[in-house]
Amino acid sequence: MAERVLEGKRIAFLATDGVEEVEYTQPREAVEQAGARAELVSLKGDPVQAFNHLDQSDTYDVDVPVAQADVGAYDALVLPGGVANPDFLRSDPDAVRFVKAFFDAGKPVGVICHGPWTLVEAGVVRGRRITSWPSLRTDLVNAGADWVDEECVVDGNLVSSRKPDDLPAFCAAIVKQFAR
């Protein structure tokens, strides 16, 4: 059994339709096994349609719409990837405000794959060392980030990874970071 280093913590997972399923389910399982309460925050209250690359997969029930979510109720945030998911999120003012509020409060954030697109929109990557899916490199560099091609990068309260293959390292890093 995993050590319950996150006992009593609440972790928000911000995702919507198009989320890469394993980038949502594996980090969620990791924080739950470590004792945290994970909640799916989304653009609306309808179930979220996950994808396995370009193929539809399962749907997941939303705990709270982002417009009603209170950042103060959460200890940390995870932004899974998938191509469509962060593109929808970065276009939603409530989602962008929610993400920015975690950074403003100094709370830990984990982001993987295409997830950093929402960070760019929130204006929180300048001066940060970060990784992502390779196609986001130019966007992140143009937003002032120091982009690197590494499995998992920890820069202060920000944990980032590139792709599903990096999930074991990403999950271990977010649990460690969120336990601080």
Task: Give, in degrees to the nearest 5, the angle at Cα 46 between 41 and 49.
Answer: 85
Longest dimension (CA), the chain: 43
Distance of CA 3 to CAs 37, 118, 148, 176, Å? 15, 31, 31, 11
- Please name every residue paired with 10 in a beta bridge, in sequence order, or none if there are none: 37
Using CA atoms, how far residue 84 sits from 49, 51, 156, in Å, is: 11, 10, 27
Average pLDDT over residues 144-150: 98
Which pLDDT value is given to residue 63? 98
Mean pLDDT (whole number) for 158-173:
98
Residue 176, pLDDT > 90, answer yes
List, for residues 4-41, the tens digit of each pLDDT value: 999 999 999 999 999 999 999 999 999 999 999 999 99
What's the token pair of residue 66? Answer: 């982002």
pLDDT above 90 covers a percentage of the chain that reads: 98
Confidence of residue 2 (pLDDT cuts 50, 70, 90): low
Other beta carbons within 10 Å of 63: 15
Is 45 a member of any domain? yes
Q: Is residue 171 part of a domain?
A: yes
Using alpha carbons, select from 176, 174, 167 the residue that is nearest to residue 25.
Answer: 167
pLDDT of residue 67 exceeding 70, the answer is yes
What CATH number is given to the structural domain containing 17? 3.40.50.880
Catalytic residues: 113-114
pLDDT confidence bin for 3, thresholds 50/70/90: confident
Let me know if residue 1 belongs to a domain.
no
User: Count of domains in the chain?
Assistant: 1
Would the CA dihedral through 130, 113, 65, 21 be positive or negative? negative
Determine, yes or no, domain membership for 89. Answer: yes
What CA dihedral angle connects 177, 25, 59 and 86, to 10 degrees?
Answer: 50
Identify the domain containing residue 110 by its residue range: 10-178
> How high is the pLDDT of residue 13?
98
Is residue 3 a part of any domain in this protein? no
Residue at 4 is within a domain = no
Judge whether 2 lies within some domain: no
The pTM of the whole model exceeds 0.85: yes
What pLDDT band is residue 116 in, cutting at 50, 70 and 90? very high
* pLDDT digit string, tens, across residues 148-160: 999 999 999 999 9
Residue 20 within a domain = yes
